[in-house]
Amino acid sequence: MNDDNDDLDKLAERSAELRRQMGAEASANDRPPASWLADIVPAIMARQVEAEAHAAACTDRPCERCEKFVCRCGKPVDGATECPVCTAESALKAQMRTTLASIPEDFRWALGASAATLRQLSSRTGKPCVGLDEAAIARALAAPPAQNLHFRGRVGAGKTTLAIAMLWAWVSAAPHKRRGAIYVEASELARARGGHSLGDGEAPLVARCLRAPLILLDDLGHEANDRDNAISDVVYGRARAAKPTWITTGIVADADPNGFAAALADKYDGGFARRVVEMGKPVRLGVR
């Protein structure tokens, strides 16, 4: 019985303590705003004076307290961790990241390259890296068109090199609108649906190709087959959406458009050939 009385006494004491705390909080909350300001303003002013004194005397850089930093380029900056130039470069890199990641390492030397650089002799073939005159390359890099293109020519004529350089120039001209443009090998796209479960939706690479503002489909016709119709579906789908597709191919190296269309129709179908040939503009390199 005594234990029960002790428990009741403890409960009563705890209740009384809670009531006292609630009463103190209520009385504090009932204080007028002027009373609160009288307590806060002096502390704020004292901190401001202290901060100004520190900033006037501080020679450290970086110093988080007075917001003095050093940009990664070495320039001193106040109130930010990067200078405006580096901030703009960071934003551009973020917008170009998807395109850059899709481009093979062997071709990245062509990104931002001048027409003269693209005309330099290849150490492998001893011929110009791109089989067009310098003026034509310069025009292509200055204003790459937002339309279908098919780059045609012999092996080693520089089709892929020029197309990649133009792709980079196209995205760079308006990266905020054109981010997501990608390079993809035709053989990789042809395999994209292999082993991908139908219940899991579209294969990721096919979905990316359909979604991208522009794709460069490299070495069309070199793939063994388009068994799962990934290439055809991408070309048809992009045509329906009026999205530009650039294609490099060595299927036919001559300048006869009928022969080129017939070769495409034989490998894919007539509708595919029409979308590439009739809806696209040829770029011929090293054509005999």
**One-letter amino acid of 264:** L
**One-letter amino acid of 161:** T
Across the strands, what pairs with 151? Answer: 248, 283
Distance CA(230)–CA(8), nearest Å, equals 78
Classify 193 as helix, strand or coil. coil
Distance CA(280)–CA(216), nearest Å, equals 13
pLDDT digits (tens, 9 = 90+) for 74-115: 788 887 777 888 877 888 788 899 999 999 999 999 999 999
pLDDT in the model for residue 110: 96
Confidence label for 255 from pLDDT (cuts 50, 70 and 90):
low
Token pair, residue 195, equals 């082993």
Distance CA(118)–CA(137), nearest Å, equals 8
DSSP 191: T
pLDDT in the model for residue 159: 95
Distance CA(183)–CA(193), nearest Å, equals 18
Across the strands, what pairs with 251? Answer: none
Q: What is the mean pLDDT of the chain?
A: 84
Strands 215-220 and 182-185: parallel
Backbone φ, ψ for residue 60 (5° rounding): -75, 145
pLDDT digits (tens, 9 = 90+) for 134-154: 999 999 999 999 999 999 988
Spans of all domains in the chain: 69-96, 103-285
Across the strands, what pairs with 120? Answer: none
Q: 103-285 domain in CATH 3.40.50.300?
A: yes
pLDDT in the model for residue 278: 82
Answer for the pair 58, 66: CB distance below 8 angstroms, yes or no.
yes
C-alpha torsion sign, points 70, 73, 77, 79: negative
What pTM was estimated for this model as a whole? 0.73
Across the strands, what pairs with 68? Answer: 63, 78
pLDDT in the model for residue 186: 95
Other beta carbons within 10 Å of 6: 10
Q: Where are the alpha helices (DSSP H) in the chain?
A: 2-29, 33-57, 84-102, 115-118, 134-142, 159-173, 175-178, 186-190, 204-211, 230-240, 257-267, 270-277
Distance CA(28)–CA(35), nearest Å, equals 10
pLDDT digits (tens, 9 = 90+) for 38-51: 677 777 787 878 77
Answer for the pair 193, 228: CB distance below 8 angstroms, yes or no.
yes
Token pair, residue 155, equals 């092996």
Across the strands, what pairs with 121? Answer: 128
Distance CA(64)–CA(82), nearest Å, equals 14
Distance CA(231)–CA(242), nearest Å, equals 16
